[in-house]
Structure 1
Amino acid sequence: MEAIIQNLVKALGWSIVHSLWQGAILYLILFGLFTLMPKASPRIKHNIAFGTLLATLTAFIFTVISTFTLPVAQSNPGVKFNEQDYVVLLKEFQKGQFATENIFPFIVAIYILGMIFQTAFLLKGYLKLKNIRKHNIAPVPAEWAVLFKKAAKKLDISKSIGFYLSTSVSVPLAIGYFKPVILFPIALINHLNTEQVEAILLHELAHIRRNDYLINLIKVCVETMLFFNPFVWLTSRFMHIEREHACDDLVVDSTHTPLAYAKALLHLETLRMQQAPAMSMAATGNTHYLLKRIKRITNMEKNYPNVKQQLLAIALTLFTFVTVAWIAPNSNKKDVAKNEKTEIETQATIDIETEIREVLTFASDSDTIAVPERTPIARTMSGESTVIYHSDNRPDSLNGVCDDTDLKAHMSRIAENAEEMEQYHNSPQFKAQIAKIEANAKEIEKYFESPEFKQKISNIEAHAKDVEKYVNSPEFQGKIAKIELEAKKIEKYFDSREFKQKIAKIESRAKDIENYVESPEFKEKIAEIETKAKNLAAYYESPEFKNKINKITEAYDSPEYQEIHKRYQQELEALQKSKRNKTIQTPLLVLF
Structure 2
Amino acid sequence: MSAFVFALGMTLMHFLWQGLLLGCATAAALTLLRNSRAEYRYLVACSAMLACLCWPALELWQRLASDATTAGTSFNGLPWAPSSFDEEDGWFKLRDSLRGIVGLWALCAAALALRMVAGLMWIDRFSRAHSTCERHDQLRWETDLARLAQRFGITREVRLRVVDTLKSPITAGWWRPVVLVPASLVGGMPPQLLEALLAHEMAHIKRHDYLINLLQNVIETLLFYHPAVWWISSRIRIERELIADDVAARQLGEPRRLALALSELERLQFSNHQLVQAANGGNLMMRIQHLLRPAPQAMNWKAAVAMLGMALACLSIYTEATAADKSASGKKPAVVNFASCAKPQYPEAAVKETRTGTVQLGFLIGMNGKVKTSKVEHSSGHTDLDEASRTAIEKCTFKPATKAGKAVESWTQMQYSWVLE
TM-score between both structures, scaled by the size of structure 1: 0.49
1:36 to 23, 32, 36: 32
Paired residue for 1:195? 192
- What's the CA shift string for 1:391-442, capped at 9, x where partnerless? xxxxxxxxxxxxxxxxxxxxxxxxxxxxxxxxxxxxxxxxxxxxxxxxxxxx
Paired residue for 2:357? none
Higher relative contact order (CA 8 A, sep 6+): 2
Q: CA deviation at 1:19?
A: 1.4
Q: CA deviation at 1:104?
A: 1.2
Q: Measure the CA separation in 1 of the matches of 2:279 and 2:251.
A: 20
1:152 to 124, 139, 149: 149
Q: Which amino acid aligns with 1:241?
A: I
Q: Which amino acid aligns with 1:218?
A: L
Q: Measure the CA separation in 1 of the matches of 2:237 and 2:184.
A: 27
Q: Is the 8 A contact 2:7 2:63 kept in 1?
A: yes
Matched, 1:304 2:298: yes
Q: Is the 8 A contact 2:18 2:314 kept in 1?
A: no
Q: CA deviation at 1:247?
A: 0.3
Q: CA deviation at 1:72?
A: 6.3
Q: Measure the CA separation in 2 of the matches of 1:318 and 1:204.
A: 42
2:57 to 61, 66, 88: 61
Q: CA deviation at 1:23?
A: 2.1
Q: What pairs with 1:197-276 in structure 2 (closer than 5 Å)? A: 197-269=194-266, 270-272=268-270, 275-276=273-274
Distance 1:153 1:294, change over 3 A: same
Aligned residues: 317
- What's the CA shift string for 1:331-353, capped at 9, x where partnerless? 69xxxxxxxxxxxxxxxxxxxxx
Q: Is the 8 A contact 1:136 1:168 kept in 2?
A: no
219-228 or 265-274, which deviates more: 265-274
Q: CA deviation at 1:319?
A: 2.4
Q: CA deviation at 1:327?
A: 4.2
Paired residue for 1:131? 125
Distance 1:318 1:81, change over 3 A: farther
Q: CA deviation at 1:325?
A: 2.2
Q: Measure the CA separation in 2 of the matches of 1:246 and 1:154.
A: 17
Q: CA deviation at 1:209?
A: 0.4
Q: Which amino acid aligns with 2:110?
A: I
2:89 to 88, 94, 97: 94
Paired residue for 1:488? none
Distance 1:134 1:312, change over 3 A: farther
Q: Is the 8 A contact 2:42 2:240 kept in 1?
A: yes
Distance 1:321 1:100, change over 3 A: farther
Q: CA deviation at 1:101?
A: 4.4
Q: Measure the CA separation in 1 of the matches of 2:239 and 2:224.
A: 21
SS at match of 1:281: coil
SS at match of 1:51: helix
Paired residue for 1:23? 19
Q: Which has the higher helix share?
A: 1
Q: Which amino acid aligns with 2:44?
A: I
Q: Which amino acid aligns with 1:329?
A: A
Paired residue for 1:561? none
Q: CA deviation at 1:33?
A: 2.4
Q: Is the 8 A contact 1:20 1:229 kept in 2?
A: yes
Q: CA deviation at 1:49?
A: 1.6
Q: CA deviation at 1:310?
A: 4.4
SS at match of 1:133: helix
Distance 1:305 1:153, change over 3 A: farther
Distance 1:188 1:321, change over 3 A: same
- What's the CA shift string for 1:468-518, capped at 9, x where partnerless? xxxxxxxxxxxxxxxxxxxxxxxxxxxxxxxxxxxxxxxxxxxxxxxxxxx
SS at match of 1:103: helix
Q: CA deviation at 1:216?
A: 0.9
Q: Measure the CA separation in 2 of the matches of 1:188 and 1:154.
A: 23
Q: Measure the CA separation in 2 of the matches of 1:44 and 1:273.
A: 27
Paired residue for 1:85? 84
Q: Is the 8 A contact 1:170 1:271 kept in 2?
A: no
TM-score between both structures, scaled by the size of structure 2: 0.67
Q: Which amino acid aligns with 1:132?
A: F
Q: Is the 8 A contact 2:204 2:279 kept in 1?
A: yes
Q: CA deviation at 1:281?
A: 2.3
Q: Is the 8 A contact 2:210 2:278 kept in 1?
A: yes
SS at match of 1:177: coil
Q: Measure the CA separation in 2 of the matches of 1:32 and 1:80.
A: 61
Q: CA deviation at 1:136?
A: 5.1
SS at match of 2:224: coil
Distance 1:273 1:13, change over 3 A: closer
Distance 1:266 1:277, change over 3 A: farther
Q: Measure the CA separation in 2 of the matches of 1:79 and 1:151.
A: 87
Q: CA deviation at 1:81?
A: 10
SS at match of 2:181: strand
Q: CA deviation at 1:302?
A: 5.3
Q: Say which one has the larger Rg.
A: 1
Stretches of structure 1 lacking an aligned partner (at least 5 in a row):
333-592
Q: Measure the CA separation in 1 of the matches of 2:30 and 2:195.
A: 32
Q: Measure the CA separation in 2 of the matches of 1:243 and 1:193.
A: 25
Q: What pairs with 1:523-534 in structure 2 (closer than 5 Å)? A: none
Q: Which has the higher strand share?
A: 2
Q: Which amino acid aligns with 2:12?
A: I
Paired residue for 1:110? 104
Paired residue for 2:160? 163
Q: Which amino acid aligns with 2:249?
A: V
- What's the CA shift string for 1:229-286, capped at 9, x where partnerless? 222212111111110010011122222333332221122231526842321124xx46
Paired residue for 1:278? 276
Q: Measure the CA separation in 2 of the matches of 1:273 and 1:59.
A: 34
Paired residue for 1:323? 317
Q: Measure the CA separation in 1 of the matches of 2:92 and 2:31.
A: 41
SS at match of 1:49: helix
- What's the CA shift string for 1:191-223, capped at 9, x where partnerless? 222321221011000000000011111111111
Q: Is the 8 A contact 1:132 1:168 kept in 2?
A: no
Give the share of equivalent positions with the same residue, in percent.
Answer: 23
Distance 1:200 1:79, change over 3 A: farther
Q: Which amino acid aligns with 1:211?
A: H
RMSD of the alignment, in Å?
A: 3.2
Stretches of structure 2 lacking an aligned partner (at least 5 in a row):
72-77, 328-421
Q: Measure the CA separation in 1 of the matches of 2:33 and 2:271.
A: 37
Q: CA deviation at 1:61?
A: 1.0
Q: Which amino acid aligns with 1:32?
A: A
Distance 1:108 1:280, change over 3 A: same
Q: Measure the CA separation in 2 of the matches of 1:220 and 1:80.
A: 61
Distance 1:43 1:273, change over 3 A: closer
SS at match of 2:323: coil
